[in-house]
Amino acid sequence: MTSTVPRILIVGGGYAGFYTAWKLEKHLRKGEAEVTMVDPLPYMTYQPFLPEVAAGEIEPRHAVVGHRRHLKTTRVVAAKVTGIDHANKVATITPEMGEPWQEEYDQIVVTAGAVSRTFPIPGIAENAIGLKTIEEAVAIRDRLIKNFDLASNLPAGPERDRLLSVVVVGGGFAGIEVFAELRALASSLVKDYPTLTFDDTHFHLIEAMGRIMPEVSQKTSEWVLKSLAERGAFVHLDTQVKGAVDGNVELSTGEVIPTDLIVWTAGVMANPTVVRGGDLPVEERGRIRARADLRVGTPEEIIEGAWAAGDVAAVPDLSGGGVGGYCVPNAQHAVRQAKLLAKNITAVIRGELPREYVHKNLGAVAGLGLYNGVFQSGKFAMKGFFAWLAHRGYHGLAMPSWERKWRVIGDWLHNFFLGRDNVTLITVQNPRATFEEFAARPRPAAAEAPAEKPAIDPKSVAKDEGAAAVAPAEKDKKVAAKG
């Protein structure tokens, strides 16, 4: 029997997508609508925790929120949306295994998020790693610790320097946080390696602009630079990466930094698979054009039945604090837009009018390694230990569900009393290596033996020899008879 209730399709299960589904479950009455959420991953990643995951301060699984555990009535589909035909209100769903299918809907919510934005720089695609997923954060942590293991067995020289050099590209919040956290991790590792010293480690941050962290004041930015310098980290301002072939990071200044770990945090872009694969309007920066009430369209035109929020959407910032008149792509806006989005969709289903999104940025807070941080709200700035507490307090409370909050807080408490757990699990990235190395294998089939010569019958041999012996005598008789 065909359903007659409105069908809501949510594209993407990140901040905006997960929160939209989560809040719709609370706002909608039983049987009022059917909600489907499509995402290739089975969890939402709380991205502000990725630098701490990379530094080993938070267990990776505790920085994600399982879709199926926390969404009780939403239909969760592990697949990609590879096409949106809103004119006919149908989306193409492509699973990892099996055939694609067409999913019909009445309301579509595009919250596909963003991916790392890179440039065609030689070597970056082959050697760098981003910081948008939990897998990337874990790989960064494991690589750094593994490099310490390798370097500890080498004499001082270029190869050891390469293993102990880290380059982070991008001086925004993500870049500064992971740079500072990795610097702190390296400092804690040194004490466990008697053959290595603090001076053997080299950390470089590359920023194309003349300053870091544009979200904070110039004075606060300069304080962060000073703090990093005091911990032996180098920040290259007004500098671009020209190449990274074979791990040799070539800078616009002419300097070359050999490294085994390049972390790319220099910007993001709206998910191109979803944006380019549909017929919804897109603005000049490649984001879906949204109205202040989060419906797709412009102030003059509404695309009925289509909504967008989060990093994939260009949402007007009515508070006046945005960049170019739009909300900046961060978790603060994504979560709050999603909460309003759930209310607006519920209102439209009930024949009511949606409300516009208005949110003034509460400020910016960043962790700079254990017991150090920075907080900026308007002209007020806080630095050091209390800013670090504000950072953990804010994000600890912002983590969805109390179940996830307690897991993260538990990690912090364990590390406070027991210390950082500096163990690498890099072999997880190739879990069958040991098994394959020692696994017994069938022996190759024996080569076919050459065909044997037929057995020789002794009697035949004797007969043949006798015939050979008689033949000349018979020939002699014939010759004599003729003569």
pLDDT of 449 reads 55
Whether the per-residue pLDDT at 481 is higher than 50: the answer is: no
Amino acid sitting at position 274: V
pLDDT digits (tens, 9 = 90+) for 125-137: 999 999 999 999 9
What's the chain's average pLDDT? 90
Question: Rounded mean pLDDT of 358-367?
Answer: 86
Identify the CA nearest to 399 among candidates 409, 389, 390.
409
Whether the per-residue pLDDT at 470 is higher than 50: the answer is: no
pLDDT of 457 reads 55
Question: Rounded mean pLDDT of 289-317?
Answer: 95
Match 């945090």 to its residue by tokens: 265
pLDDT exceeding 70 applies to what percent of the chain? 92
Question: Rounded mean pLDDT of 359-363?
Answer: 80
Comparison of pLDDT for 444 and 292, the residue scoring more: 292
Structure tokens at 111: 């919250």
CA 310 to chain centre: 17
Whether the per-residue pLDDT at 361 is higher than 80: the answer is: no
Q: Residue 320, Cβ neighbours under 10 Å: how many?
A: 7
What are the start-end ranges of the E strands in 300-424?
Answer: 302-308, 313-314, 364-367, 373-377, 380-383
Structure tokens at 292: 């202040």
Residues 415, 416, 417, 420: is their CA dihedral positive or negative? positive
Whether the per-residue pLDDT at 325 is higher than 90: the answer is: no
pLDDT exceeding 90 applies to what percent of the chain? 80
Q: How many CA atoms lie within 13 A of 25 on its CB side?
A: 16
Distance between CA 92 and CA 55 in Å, rounded?
39
pLDDT of 286 reads 92
Contact 280, 305 (CB under 8 A): no
Whether the per-residue pLDDT at 473 is higher than 50: the answer is: no
Match 């194309």 to its residue by tokens: 208
Whether the per-residue pLDDT at 331 is higher than 90: the answer is: no
Question: Which helix (H) or strand (E) covers residue 27, if one does?
Answer: helix 15-27
Task: Enter the pTM of the model.
Answer: 0.87
Question: Rounded mean pLDDT of 81-88?
Answer: 96
Cβ burial, residue 337 (10 Å; 0-12/13-18/19+): buried
pLDDT of 362 reads 77
Q: pLDDT band at 455, cuts 50/70/90?
A: low
Distance between CA 408 and CA 399 in Å, rounded?
9
Distance between CA 434 and CA 166 in Å, rounded?
29
Whether the per-residue pLDDT at 225 is higher than 80: the answer is: yes
Lowest mean pLDDT among 108-122, 217-231, 458-472: 458-472
Q: pLDDT band at 450, cuts 50/70/90?
A: low
Whether the per-residue pLDDT at 430 is higher than 90: the answer is: no
pLDDT of 47 reads 93
End-to-end CA gap in the chain = 118
Question: Rounded mean pLDDT of 309-326?
Answer: 88
pLDDT digits (tens, 9 = 90+) for 368-404: 999 999 999 888 999 999 999 999 999 999 999 999 9
pLDDT of 479 reads 41
